[in-house]
Amino acid sequence: MNKEKMEQCAAAFGYSHPRLIGKGGFAFVFQATDIDSSEIVVIKLIPDIEDKSKVESEIKVLRECHSSFIVKHIKTIWMDKNLLIVMEYCHCGSLGAFIKSGKRLNEDQLREIASCCLLGLSYLHNKRIMHRDIKPDNLFFSQNGLIKLGDFGLAIEVNHTCSQRNNCSGTIQYMAPEVLDEKTELKSDVWSLGVTMVELAEGKNPYSNKSAMGVVTSIITGNPPSISSSKWSTQFVDFVSKCCIKDVNERWSVKDLMNHPFVKESVERLLKKGTSRVLFDLGDDFNKEAAEYNGADPFVLTPNPNAVVGGNLWAVA
């Protein structure tokens, strides 16, 4: 879909000034403005869908998710064979962009991030929904001092056996061992969270600089990801280790982790206050720096040509 056609399409449904901010093999991502409210939104465009029934489950998941720790779904629009998913725009950007900028996080900040992620995952897992693509690029700073889980194109409902075969989707560096064996479980999200925390703490993914086959081999046969005990507290090191247990049956669940001493008080405080001053200041500072770098506009998301898509990309950094 060219720029002129997208502008016509957006205008027909009440949105103006669409701007491409990300694209991949199967989806395009636009920032746009709601004409009536002047609210900035993100529109994920999935073109040329031959069988609408194949994406109805994704749409159903999006519509049913209402949590302070999850990026808000606004509406879905069908235009012939094109699907437009309108989502909340997180002005302060993603943790992926934060790390790519060369910035680093302290342990207090990492604790608050982990707590927000657990609360978002708790909401999903209680509804038998998996995220399936937890990674820094899909964790967003909200304006009210929270981290929100984004990108639900890969979310699936899990049946009562808590597993699904032959559904290996996501970003390979964050995949749990059982996912590579084509068996996905709720606690597969926990492994991805653990890898994400390692990346946020150490500044790089533990499987960086490896080929796809090298990543797979390392995940299956190598030691699980970990953080340095000389740089981080015993509690944080233990938290990550509980996330990254290779045997999914032994791996801690989200419910277990919410009571881990590393995050327990933070989780309780977030549930009570609904915000984190630590994250509010962090996101605000990052947003101001990015706005200064990019001119007058608020944070500008950088298109990622290597983003994994196929129905899972609606905001990239």
pLDDT by residue for the chain (317 residues), tens only, comes to 666 777 777 888 899 999 988 776 577 888 999 999 999 999 988 888 887 877 777 788 778 889 999 999 999 888 888 888 899 998 888 999 999 999 999 999 999 999 999 999 999 999 998 999 999 999 999 988 999 998 755 454 444 344 443 444 568 999 999 999 988 899 999 999 999 999 999 999 999 989 999 999 999 999 999 999 999 999 999 999 999 999 999 999 999 999 999 999 999 999 999 999 999 999 988 877 665 544 333 333 333 333 333 333 222 22
Of 133, 137, 151, 189, catalytic: 133
Residue 44 assigned to a binding site: yes
Confidence at residue 28, expressed as pLDDT on a 0 to 100 scale:
83
Cα–Cα distance measured from residue 168 to residue 156, given in angstroms and rounded to the nearest whole number:
11
Say how many residues make up the chain: 317
Angle between helices 264-273 and 107-126 (to 10 degrees): 70
Instruction: Give me the DSSP letters along 213-275.
Output: HHHHHHHHHSPPP---TTTS-HHHHHHHHHHT-SSTTTSPPHHHHTTSTTTHHHHHHHHHHS-
Task: Give the pair of three-digit tokens for residue 58.
Answer: 């994704």
Catalytic residue list contains 284: no
Residues of the chain with CATH 1.10.510.10: 95-287
Confidence at residue 47, expressed as pLDDT on a 0 to 100 scale:
84
CATH no. for 95-287: 1.10.510.10
pTM: 0.84
CA distance to 178, 273, 276, per residue, from 112 (Å): 28, 13, 7
Pick 3-90's CATH classification: 1.10.287.110, 3.30.200.20, 3.65.10.10, 1.10.10.10.
3.30.200.20
Cα–Cα distance measured from residue 34 to residue 9, given in angstroms and rounded to the nearest whole number:
13
Residues of the chain with CATH 3.30.200.20: 3-90
